[in-house]
Amino acid sequence: MKTATFINNKLEQLDRDLTASANEQSRLALLTGNSGLALFYYHMYHHFGDEQYRNRAAAILEEAMEEINKGIRSYTYCDGLAGYAYLLNYLQQKDFIDNSITDFLIQCDEILYSVFGRMQLKSNTDLLHGSLGLAAYFLDRYQSGAVALSSIREIGEAIRLSLDKVVHDRQAPQEEVYVNCGMAHGIVSMILFLVKYHPLADNQDAVSASLKAGVDCLLQFKSTDPASISLYPSIVKVNAVGIDTTYNIPLGWCYGDIIVSIGLYRAGSLLQDNDLLREAECLALAAAKRNTPRTALVHDACLCHGGAGLAHMYKKWYRFTGNEIFNASYHLWMDKTLELSNHPDGIGGFKKYNGGPFVQMAGILDGAAGMGLVLMDYLQGDQEDNDWDRVLFLA
């Protein structure tokens, strides 16, 4: 692994390039645009203690607010109002911004509660672009003491029933249906939400039963072919004849075996299911054997499906188990992340693989700032308040 001095220099290069680059991404977008850079600069300030980083975060937040004042074009967690409001709530919790935004957040709560209902009616339970992302926001707001328990229970019950519907449709398809097995848009994120929601539910047995059914649905898609590149697919087409899918899935946060393993582990911990915990760890160990960019199908250093995301998830697994294989995988993918972010014209050396030419991207999910957060996480070690990955539903 490179020295702390090398990584500090890399972070400073990231800052210089972000400041100098003409960034045309949405000002409002938390995960794929500019507002998420405020999270990066908050942690730069937290790490370096330099007021310039606080000022840059404040300027980014103000630019996003200016965009809102011109009219809200999206309400989603990924690139709309929910993500920006989540960010403000997070930074207020950290005492990084003051209570002057409290009234604005209350207005956001009212708007997003209505939008959540409309998304649910359309069966849009996507984390990045649907109701689950709004549910994640409201769960954070409840933990800040800003949302009533009754409201969280209404939202949580709606997500629970949505997972039940996915399971039912898969078991008895009346027509062709698609089951998404990933985090960004599918079952894993629903499982992780219900694990977080479970202690608040007034029907915990029902939530546990829904979790168990969701996990069982996911397990049924595990490949039995030893030649499969991955053990779990991304999207499965289900009809009366059977299933149609592919098992050549990259390792990543959005899809793939490593994020499925985290979903199974969290569910197994809550359900106190030792067999499920073993299944989850075996899946993560199998994923760890895909230890090159070629075998992991990784092309860049991003959080979503690149080296930085893999490093961070193996660090989670090392914390879960103490298994040194995961610690070695964490350090291996930290090295790979630095190797993959060595483009002379990149942002801090980072460029995103776009299926052809590599392109400059600045944001958290698929850009340079996300890589920067993982680098800072490495430097900060195991600080108790190092929970930036709440933004990815991992904390």
Contacts 24+ apart (CB under 8 A), 142-150: 142/200, 144/89, 144/92, 144/93, 146/89, 146/105, 146/106, 146/109, 147/109, 149/200
CB atoms within 10 A of CB 333: 29
Asked if residue 44 belongs to a domain, the reply is: no
> Is 254 a known ligand-binding residue?
yes
The pTM assigned to this predicted structure is 0.96
What SS3 class is residue 236? strand
User: For residue 385, what pLDDT is reported?
Assistant: 62
What's the first-to-final CA gap in the chain, in angstroms?
A: 24
Across the range 284-311, mean pLDDT stands at: 98
pLDDT digits (tens, 9 = 90+) for 6-57: 999 999 999 999 988 766 677 899 999 999 999 999 999 998 999 999 999 9
What SS3 class is residue 36? coil
Query: The tokens of 271 are what?
Result: 């359900």
> Is 305 a known ligand-binding residue?
yes
Asked if residue 197 belongs to a domain, the reply is: yes
Report in angstroms the alpha-carbon separations of 365 from 15, 304, 305: 17, 5, 9
Q: What are the residues whose beta carbons fall under 8 Å from the beta carbon of 59, sequence distance 6 or more?
A: none
Asked if residue 129 belongs to a domain, the reply is: no
Given pLDDT bands bounded at 50, 70 and 90, which one contains residue 4? Answer: confident
Contact 221, 245 (CB under 8 A): yes
pLDDT digits (tens, 9 = 90+) for 174-213: 788 999 999 999 999 999 999 999 999 999 999 999 999 9
Asked if residue 60 belongs to a domain, the reply is: no
Asked if residue 45 belongs to a domain, the reply is: no
What average pLDDT does the structure give for the chain? Answer: 95
Domain count, the chain: 1
Asked if residue 167 belongs to a domain, the reply is: no
**Residue 285 lies in domain:** 177-290
Asked if residue 207 belongs to a domain, the reply is: yes
Asked if residue 32 belongs to a domain, the reply is: no
What SS3 class is residue 178? strand
